Amino acid sequence: MNFTRKDILDMESLSVEEIEFILNTAESLKEISTRSIKKVPTLRGKTIVLFFYEPSTRTRTSFEVAAKRLSADTVSLSGSTSSMVKGETLFDTAKNLEAMNPDVIVIRHNASGVPHMLAKLVQSSIINAGDGMHAHPTQALLDLMTVKEKKGRLDGLRISIIGDIAHSRVARSNIVGFTKMGSEVILTGPPTMIPKGIERMGAKVTFDPDEAISNADVIMVLRIQKERQETFLFPSEREYARLYGLDRDSLSRAKDDVLIMHPGPLNRGVEISPEVADGPHSVILEQVANGVALRMALLYLVCNRVKE
């Protein structure tokens, strides 16, 4: 297919065909990271700005590694080191970055909708690296890639997402991504962390974690996002771990070939026990490795898109 998309903003706007094309491109680029010289000249002369207004380990680093493996130049900017601390608006920051003519701006921001706003404002491609509680499309794409690699398909699978659904952009993007690709998505967690009406996105809700665990082909565990909670939504971390944490005992009720996923960062002993996070069902570090290939694919595709 001809890839024509300038920006990667959310999973809603990507078609099934585009998602399949992105995943196939990522699979073909993955081998580069296994070479002794992990670099190809594909994006030589391209400039990628990494503008992270919120903390990140995996997304920021993997975008930088991805860009460098394709020989692009990268420039990093954070909220605290930009002139936004002196009162410059996001609009002016974006227009000034645009004046330096980067090919791609990868942005993470705590406000939902910022990448969409920038995409209308600037000529550079915008890639959403996570906006507020709204969307994290590159995480959802690398999760789809990991499940497809491990299970050989996406359609007909049952994906259970456990935890703080209310505050999770990863959950929202994965609900859209997995249902679009033919999987069934089941959500579970404390009732205070499951937004009313979330079923309208195409997922099912159960308040019985054992039901979600025992029927799943994939269990995706989410961190409690304390930084986005305005009030206490559960009595204590100990209580949460006992009722909703995935440990050896709760995992014993899962299918033998279940995959355990987590977008990171982990709170070991809260939503997931160390023996499950590091156990044989876990593909958590494979998600991280696939994040590099997936982001190489996105940078390659938006930089080489067919302009309509």
Name the site residues for ligand CP (rule: CB under 6 A): 56-59, 130, 139, 263-265
Q: What is the dihedral of CA 215, 247, 178, 199, to 10 degrees?
A: 70
* Smaller CB separation from ligand CP, 56 or 93: 56
Tokens of 158: 């049952």
Closest separation in Å from C-beta 32 to ligand CP: 22
Nearer to ligand CP by Cβ, of 59 and 124: the residue is 59
Q: Please say which residue, 182 or 265, places its beta carbon nearer to ligand CP.
A: 265
What is the smallest separation between the CB atom of 291 and ligand CP, expressed in angstroms?
8
Q: CA-CA distance, 294 to 271, in Å (whole number)?
A: 26
For the CB of residue 203, give the shortest distance to ligand CP in the complex, in Å: 20
* Contacts (Cβ under 8 Å, ≥6 apart) of 38: 32, 69
Give, in degrees to the nearest 5, the angle at Cα 208 between 206 and 214: 95
**Cβ 233 to ligand CP, closest distance in Å?**
20
Q: Of the two residues 58 and 151, which places its CB atom closer to ligand CP in the complex?
A: 58
Nearer to ligand CP, 128 or 139 (CB): 139
Q: Shortest gap between Cβ of 65 and ligand CP (angstroms)?
A: 13
